């Protein structure tokens, strides 16, 4: 089927190439700022783990900088500039910005489809001196000082095709705009040879630093029901998620000794009463006493209080994740901190 889409992929490629060329030669303008601006993004559609990596940067930088995270707020019902507060709802600001704000309440988080407008406003308000732009690798109207591109280890760009035949937003060569490449969602064990081989296949034209990361899974956090940490060994776990790729979470829970039943919804899905009823019905159909429901941290951002109440008395948890470097963490931190120290 994808081969039938190749003519359309060629058209998409031509549009992307021309657009990048117009930016490269200055026909389309990029605005530079005298403060540190870091872009975190990718050249594919679908989840590469941007939000946990943005959170890693926020945690790293907010020790010494006044950080602002700017996102377009994917899937939100609003438009223009909106400052995110912990009391915001995901439909108004997007689930990922809300997750970041609730986790880092002292950090400025804003959504605006025009990133330059958001930066200009926050600078005028003196709200921040360092900016992290989430999912803005193709948003070249801002001239970032540090571009960080993410590549999914399991769905590498060198084995992909342009949209709509594949997942590439632009040609693979676009990765060369990155100052740092992060290869994400790696297996727990990755040898130096495997890292070198993967890096070679990226065909980077410069000596761009490449780092490999994986997700670490913390203890499950109760959403409703008991506050005790559940025992996964021998349990039946219903994984109800609205994320791009829940396979890694399912594999983690399986490796922890659980029997996993996966119930997948579309990425960024806003849950309804019918969805919650479907989850509860599946939970009740499991003929085992030791059973729980697990969702992701991003999923619970899209649950309103009345939806949470709909779960009733069943045991529902969410799974926090954090970024773990497979070597090179100190070097990565040093590059980022030195960049911020040299700007502004």
pLDDT at 310 over 90: yes
Lowest mean pLDDT among 75-79, 157-161, 339-343: 339-343
Residue 335 domain flag: yes
State residue 206's pLDDT score: 86
Residue 6 domain flag: no
Cα–Cα distance between 134 and 234 in angstroms, integer?
39
Shared-domain flag, residues 208 and 151: yes
Structural domain tally of the chain? 2
Shared-domain flag, residues 236 and 254: yes
Residue 19 domain flag: no
Cα–Cα distance between 109 and 18 in angstroms, integer?
32
Shared-domain flag, residues 307 and 170: no
How does pLDDT run across 6-51, given as a tens digit for each residue? 999 999 999 999 999 999 999 999 999 999 999 999 999 988 899 9
CATH no. for residue 75?
A: 3.40.50.300
Strands (E), 220-340: 221-224, 236-241, 259-264, 291-296, 316-319, 321-325
Shared-domain flag, residues 312 and 295: yes
Residue 259 domain flag: yes
Q: Average of pLDDT values for 52-74?
A: 96
How does pLDDT run across 180-192, given as a tens digit for each residue? 999 999 998 899 9
- What is the dihedral sign for C-alpha 55, 61, 66, 68? negative
The backbone region for 234, taken as left when phi is positive above 0, alpha when psi lies in -120 to 50, beta otherwise, is left
pLDDT at 4 over 90: no
136, 112 contact by CB (below 8 A) = no
Residue 23 domain flag: no
Q: Average of pLDDT values for 239-252?
A: 92
Shared-domain flag, residues 198 and 310: no
Shared-domain flag, residues 118 and 211: yes
Give the contacts of 57 (CB within 8 A, at least 6 positions apart).
38, 40, 132, 336
Cα–Cα distance between 121 and 131 in angstroms, integer?
12
pTM over 0.95: no
pLDDT at 318 over 70: yes
State residue 202's pLDDT score: 97
Cα–Cα distance between 307 and 310 in angstroms, integer?
5
State residue 226's pLDDT score: 66
CATH no. for residue 234?
A: 3.40.50
State residue 244's pLDDT score: 84
Polymer length in residues for the chain: 344
Listed residue (27, 22, 306, 4) closest to 161, CA to CA: 4
58, 168 contact by CB (below 8 A) = no
How confident is the prediction for the chain on average, in pLDDT? 94
Shared-domain flag, residues 146 and 259: no
pLDDT band with cut points at 50, 70 and 90 for residue 343 = confident
Cα–Cα distance between 157 and 287 in angstroms, integer?
43
How does pLDDT run across 202-236, given as a tens digit for each residue? 999 889 999 999 999 999 999 976 667 888 999 99
The backbone region for 148, taken as left when phi is positive above 0, alpha when psi lies in -120 to 50, beta otherwise, is beta
pLDDT band with cut points at 50, 70 and 90 for residue 79 = very high
Shared-domain flag, residues 188 and 267: no
Q: Average of pLDDT values for 173-182?
A: 97
Cα–Cα distance between 104 and 240 in angstroms, integer?
25
pLDDT band with cut points at 50, 70 and 90 for residue 103 = very high
State residue 286's pLDDT score: 95
State residue 3's pLDDT score: 78
State residue 344's pLDDT score: 63
- Domain of 258 in residue numbering reads as 219-319
Residue 14 domain flag: no
Rounded percentage of the chain residues whose pLDDT exceeds 70: 99
pLDDT at 340 over 90: yes
């Amino acid at each position: 089927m994808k081969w039938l889409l190749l003519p359309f992929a060629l058209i998409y490629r031509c549009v992307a190439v021309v657009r990048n060329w117009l930016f490269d030669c200055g026909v389309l303008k990029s605005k530079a700022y005298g403060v540190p601006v870091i872009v975190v993004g990718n050249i594919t559609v679908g989840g590469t783990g941007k939000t946990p990596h943005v959170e890693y940067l926020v945690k790293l930088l907010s020790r010494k900088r006044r950080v602002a995270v700017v996102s377009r707020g994917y899937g939100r019902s609003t438009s223009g500039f909106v400052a995110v507060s912990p009391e915001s709802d995901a439909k108004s600001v997007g689930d990922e910005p809300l997750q970041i704000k609730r986790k880092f309440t002292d950090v400025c988080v804003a959504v605006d489809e025009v990133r330059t407008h958001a930066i200009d406003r926050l600078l005028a308000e003196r709200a921040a001196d360092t900016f992290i732009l989430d999912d803005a690798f193709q948003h070249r109207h801002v001239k970032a000082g540090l571009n960080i591109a993410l590549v999914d280890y399991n769905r590498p760009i060198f084995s992909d095709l342009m949209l709509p035949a594949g997942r590439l937003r632009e040609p693979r060569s676009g990765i060369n705009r990155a100052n740092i490449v992060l290869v994400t969602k790696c297996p727990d064990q990755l040898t130096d040879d495997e890292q070198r081989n993967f890096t070679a296949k990226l065909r980077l034209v410069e000596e761009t630093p490449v780092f490999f990361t994986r997700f670490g899974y913390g203890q499950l956090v109760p959403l409703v029901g008991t506050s005790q940490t559940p025992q996964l060994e021998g349990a039946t776990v219903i994984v109800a998620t609205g994320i791009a790729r829940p396979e890694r979470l399912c594999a983690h829970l399986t490796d922890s000794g659980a029997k996993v039943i996966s119930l997948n919804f579309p990425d960024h899905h806003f849950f309804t009463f019918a969805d919650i009823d479907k989850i509860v019905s599946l939970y009740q159909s499991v003929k085992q006493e030791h059973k729980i429901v697990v969702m992701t941290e991003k999923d619970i951002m899209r649950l309103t209080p009345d939806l949470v109440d709909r779960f009733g008395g069943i045991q529902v948890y969410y799974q926090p994740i954090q970024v773990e470097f497979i070597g090179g963490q100190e070097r990565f931190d040093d590059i980022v901190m030195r960049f911020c120290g040299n700007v502004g």
